[in-house]
Amino acid sequence: MNQVEYLEPSLAQVVERIGDRYVTVVGAPRGVEVPVSGPAIHDPLSAVPPRPGSMVLLVGLTATSPEIVTTLRGLGGATAAVLRADAADAVPLAEEAARAGVALVALESAMTWSHLHTLVEETVLLGENLVSAPGGDLGSVPVGDLNTLVNLIAETLDRPVGIVDTQWRLLAYSAVPGQVNDDLQRDVILNRVVPERNAPRETRRLLLTTGRALRFLTNAPYDTADHTIWRVGAGIRSGAEPLGMLWVLEGRDQLPDDRLVLVEEFARLAAAHLLRARTARTTDRERRGELVGQALDGTNPRTACRRLGLDPDAGIAVLAVAGLSLGADDPPGEHLLDGVATYFDAYRRSAACVLRAETVYCLVPTPDLTALREIAADLVRQLGRRGRLVAAVGGRVTAEELPRSRREADLALAALRASGTAVGTIEEVRAAAALIELRALLDDHPGLLLHEPWGDLSEVAESALAWIESHGDVRAAASRLGVHPNTLRYRVRRLAAEGLDLSDPQTRLVTWLRLRLL
């Protein structure tokens, strides 16, 4: 694979992209040319520090909050901290931020935190060489800036707007003051995907093949007899390639017919933005995927983790996600990778993923495996709506030990598939995973457990297995076999006469392994 060249944007470029009407650099102890690795939301309940080089959004804090000084002191390693305050009110805190080596940025109240997070994320995604210049706009919107685009459309149509991909996953939604979302729209924003009952295949086919804006009635349980809610949808295409769908919430007051033509024009405009955003995502995915591969293989893992924005020493676990049975109904690999990456992006969770064969591997910083298991269970619930998935969690390790965590995740994945279980950690399936690993060893060394062959669980072999697993209780073992206890006693004595003395612990262990694994 060719090395993907990528340069993270500087703080100055990120601020320029956001706009000096909204943010002001109050203090920058290391200058404004320091790189930004991505956005991070400050969570006082999380034990995980912000990833190196991140732009930390201090949601819920102000310049006068009692904990603001302590919070700034704990941001060492980050590039900048963003505080909602007037620049003049933030100046007294600049010195404290400088002691932590962090730039302090003041955010005007006009911009929401979610909008700011998206702008920073997209700027980093586009990279230093892809940040849109003023002359590179489409329809007065920076190329690839889907959130600005949907806000522009929403303001023009005076209706809430959203863009979803061809699998009904939310890509962008409008946030225009005064426009009210209905229950379905709020559900989509919360879960980042359209509920299956509201995502019929025929609707998608119509939108992506006709090229027309069409009107639809919202499905139950969101509509009521006295509150009929209409939506207008339009397919987004690039030539013959479907890219997604543009949706406008009409409510009870339908748009005039001439506005439907405008919706179609906006859908055509969105195609160029989606292509650019997808190109940027593909470039970023290739770059990050190559780094994840290096970490999983143990090739310079510390450097790879740092470039991914992960602390090599803070505790990282490998999460493996795949189809439960790898049957025809399981999602294809690229689609699964897209879904997993979108899930982590949607919930602002730090992770770096790569696809290998039909399995998606993610490096996830986590304080403990229980927390990551809960995330894995939620991921399976969200993505498993259209396909059966299994998610396995390897051990929590440092960067150098990631190959071991990956091996544990693979073993746990195999154990979960065998049991039909959807989610689990290596600790939960340690015994089953050990047997799987031992079976693989025996496949490579078939002569490892040598003694007289019995064939496929012959009468004698079944008797030995029942006796061992009943811990020598002849009556219990005989009941399991459906024979008289004296018959079983005779068979055990016969085995001893042939050199297989089951009273010896080592003989019992080797015999049980052979009967269970060969």
Q: Which fold has domain 11-131?
A: 3.40.1390
Which listed CATH number (3.40.50.10780, 3.30.70.100, 3.30.56.10, 1.10.10.2840) goes with 459-517? 1.10.10.2840
The string of pLDDT tens digits covering residues 447-473 is 555 445 444 446 677 888 888 888 888
Q: Taking the CA of residue 268 as centre, how many other CA atoms within 13 Å lie in the half-sphere pointing to its CB? A: 10
For residue 186, which of 162, 150, 203, 156 has the smallest C-alpha distance? 162
Place of tokens 């085995």: 495
Please give the helix or strand (H or E) that residue 469 lies within, else none: helix 459-469
User: HSE of 229 in the Cβ direction (CA atoms, 13 Å)?
Assistant: 19
Domain 303-444: give its CATH architecture.
2-Layer Sandwich (3.30)
Residue 216 Cα to chain centre, angstroms: 31
Nearest to 97 by CA among 114, 113, 80, 122: 80
Looking at the DSSP bridge assignments, the partners of residue 137 are 142
Residue 20 CB contacts under 8 Å (≥ 6 apart), including other chains: none
Which residue's entry shows tokens 């911009």?
111
Contact 376, 391 (CB under 8 A): yes
Predicted TM-score of the model (pTM): 0.53
Contacts of 209 (CB under 8 A, 6+ apart): 235
Tell which CATH classification among 3.40.50.450, 3.30.450.40, 2.60.40.10, 3.50.50.60 matches the domain 135-278.
Answer: 3.30.450.40
Residues of the chain with pLDDT under 70: 1-7, 47-48, 109-110, 122, 125-144, 219-227, 280-282, 324-332, 346-348, 385-387, 442-459, 517-518
Question: Is there a contact between 328 and 322 (Cβ–Cβ < 8 Å)?
Answer: no
**Edge-to-edge strands of the sheet including 54-57?**
23-27, 103-107, 80-84, 54-57, 38-41
Residues 475, 476, 479, 480, CA torsion sign = negative
So where are the chain's domains? 11-131, 135-278, 303-444, 459-517
Dig out the tokens for 232 from the structure. 């207008």
Please give the DSSP secondary-structure letter assigned to residue 324.
S
